[in-house]
Amino acid sequence: MTKPVPPVGTKRICSACAAKFYDLDKRPVVCPKCAAEQTGSTAIVS
């Protein structure tokens, strides 16, 4: 039996450093690696 995975938001790519991260449904979207605020829709569709 598997546990349900909690929602983690949308997977994104930072426009400043190209790091991949989940936005955790927080606004504004800020990169956890370089702290750059994301202004575009650079979501990853998988």
Domain boundaries, the chain: 12-46
pTM of the full predicted structure?
0.76
For residue 46, what pLDDT band results from cuts at 50, 70 and 90? Answer: low
Q: What is the pLDDT of residue 15?
A: 92
Q: What is the pLDDT of residue 1?
A: 74
Task: Residue 12: name the closest of 3, 2, 33, 1 by CA.
Answer: 33
For residue 5, what pLDDT band results from cuts at 50, 70 and 90? Answer: confident
Q: What is the mean pLDDT of residues 23-43?
A: 90
For residue 37, what pLDDT band results from cuts at 50, 70 and 90? Answer: very high
Please give the mean pLDDT across all residues of the chain: 88
| Amino acid at site 19 | A
CA distance 39 to 15: 8
